Structure 1
């Protein structure tokens, strides 16, 4: 026999009805684990529920734990409610959960906090009924969200297509974007086109990030572009960004290893008029990280790539024959004539700050061979006696030549 009405005006009233029917606290989430409804609960509840209600989303640590343990996949794969043992390490008490699906598309979840006694079959049936009723409401919400998301994605791509904002775009951005917030533009660059199915998986991981607030996002070929800001004080923004970027990129690489995702993050900006230039910066970071994976392995933000940010411009000047370096030309000529590798040795000698053992290990040669090559370089160029700015210029010229060659 049915325990609930056939329909409800809102998910809040549905959550309350389910909670009263099984005498347990209820939460209803969308597919990205953002809280959309919850019932009343007694004074005693677990930390995960409190954090979910306060933050309006399930804590990131809880989601990761449920995925890593296989629990969440089990909930998604089964049509009936699943009883979940307590996960005290992430503040999660015993629960029952049921997925809300339309065919194979996940629309959301209903969670019920356990009480002192086990869930009865009747109570699990009520949860299943609740999921069937919630499906109609969530389908309407999902259709509305998809229309809005598609319109905002087109708008975001439009404003990134030109360096100058039109008046209408500027007015729309003033309605959407936060005022006087230190924003960033992050590019998630992949080695394969981002299909709709792949995009949905990327959006899921992005939506579970609690350190950031997304303003706009869009797919552009093999890249996901994200305008966001950090949920931290401005004085802590840079430190928080670096920590989040390392953690987020690791998550992406674990979940999408075949796509080899790489982050590129612009400098922070406060005015929407600069959004085009920030996209250029973020894309430059990902491009350089692809070109120089070892040197820039941990450099995810524009500030972290240092002098490498000059490499593409210098490479362009070299291509136009407007820029060259005589010292480097001399070494290249010697390498060509004698089948040596002085330029490569000098490159890594600079990179490892003159540490002969590290150069030898990287090039898989004996340290004495490195010393011999450095002495030969010194005889040809007196490179070790030049100033730091000149050495930096030579190093840049080496990397710019590699950048051009790879292109």
Structure 2
């Protein structure tokens, strides 16, 4: 057992690896040091006492995502991000994780990283916990150096993504893809997430999650005001819909962040086409803003249906004159035939659904449809005419 807590770590060390070994020597337990995004920075030797969770972390150089998620659900990471005291982490058998003690490394109000001590073979004493706090204070300077380096790298990655989504095809782009660990012909897509107004702390939370849990899937991301732009590796997701649902769900679960919209552009192969996926995603957002009710569940271009053609219709195209006749008839007679027409077209002619929403009998609706056809001089049973009228209604709202 340790007998002193008097500045034992305030001695020269050449690297974080050497420091990790020093901490392990005084605490008699295996030690790992991570950055704020759970990337492994250094670790001590561990003899025969390592559990599978530690070995997996060392092999992949980062904490497994499923374990990070569990730590969030169990309140471990939120606690570490709020206190400077060591936090005891109980055994999690399903992940073969023995008991641990963790402590955060702080600079003012910012967490720079964590020190984890595997104490399942020998529990840390109160004196050991004081030593662990001292170790965290000593490690701060080394992590500050790494933090400055990584902020510069993040800036470079942000600039790289701007170049990619804006269609810059210079040779320099090709040589810088290594920043994102991407191949020139890799299959990717662009996703956009729109949030309500966020402060810097909320953005840091989102950045943290992307770097901690999605590093292999989202190699590049940036903020454009309240919009988050993500470049996503296609091989890392089951589908675009699943990806959007999973990421937005985790953001809301962990950070209670209010998100307004999300969408994804098409899959593209090669960095030369990334701008195409980005422009497509922007078009989806634009249409969702113009037609929020109709496109509430649309998240990809294929979800848009007929709306994907709305911007291709020439300006000045005349709508069916029968629509104006129905509007005029409603004004003179005090009827609601236009409302019935709109709902009938939205429901694609499903009379039961329309009657239910209008709170009328199907027979009453059948009479109204006959009046609509008579006044408008169109045939609602004809799919082509019905689709044309629906487009006309949309055009009248442009």
Q: Verify same fold: TM over 0.5.
A: yes
**Partner in structure 1 of residue 45 of structure 2:** 40
- Give unpaired runs (5+ residues) of structure 2: 1-5
- Give unpaired runs (5+ residues) of structure 1: none
**Partner in structure 1 of residue 382 of structure 2:** 386
**Partner in structure 2 of residue 130 of structure 1:** 135
SS in 2 for 1:77: coil
1:273-302 CA distance string (max 9 Å, x none): 223222211122233334444544443233
Structure 1 or 2, whichever has the larger Rg, is: 2
| Equivalences for residues 6-405 of structure 1 within 5 A | 6-43=11-48, 45-88=50-93, 92-161=97-166, 164-165=167-168, 167=170, 170-172=173-175, 176=179, 177-192=182-197, 194-210=198-214, 212-232=216-236, 239-254=238-253, 259-314=258-313, 317=314, 320-322=315-317, 324-326=319-321, 328-360=323-355, 363=357, 365-368=359-362, 370-379=365-374, 380-387=376-383, 389-402=384-397, 404=398
Q: Scaled by the length of structure 2, what TM-score is found?
A: 0.83
Q: Scaled by the length of structure 1, what TM-score is found?
A: 0.82
8 Å CA contact 1:188–1:262 kept in 2: the answer is yes
RMSD of the TM alignment (CA)?
3.1
1:196/1:290 Cα in 2 relative to 1: closer, same or farther (>3 Å)?
same
8 Å CA contact 1:159–1:169 kept in 2: the answer is no
8 Å CA contact 1:62–1:92 kept in 2: the answer is no
Supply the distance in 2 between the matched residues of 1:342 and 1:172 (Cα, whole angstroms): 62
Cα deviation, residue 221, structure 1:
1.6
Cα deviation, residue 100, structure 1:
0.8
Structure 1 residue ranges (4+ consecutive) displaced by more than 6 angstroms after TM superposition: none
Segment of structure 1 superposing worse, 259-268 or 286-295: 286-295
SS in 2 for 1:385: coil
Supply the distance in 2 between the matched residues of 1:188 and 1:336 (Cα, whole angstroms): 42
8 Å CA contact 2:217–2:232 kept in 1: the answer is yes
How many residues are aligned here?
A: 389
Cα deviation, residue 307, structure 1:
2.9
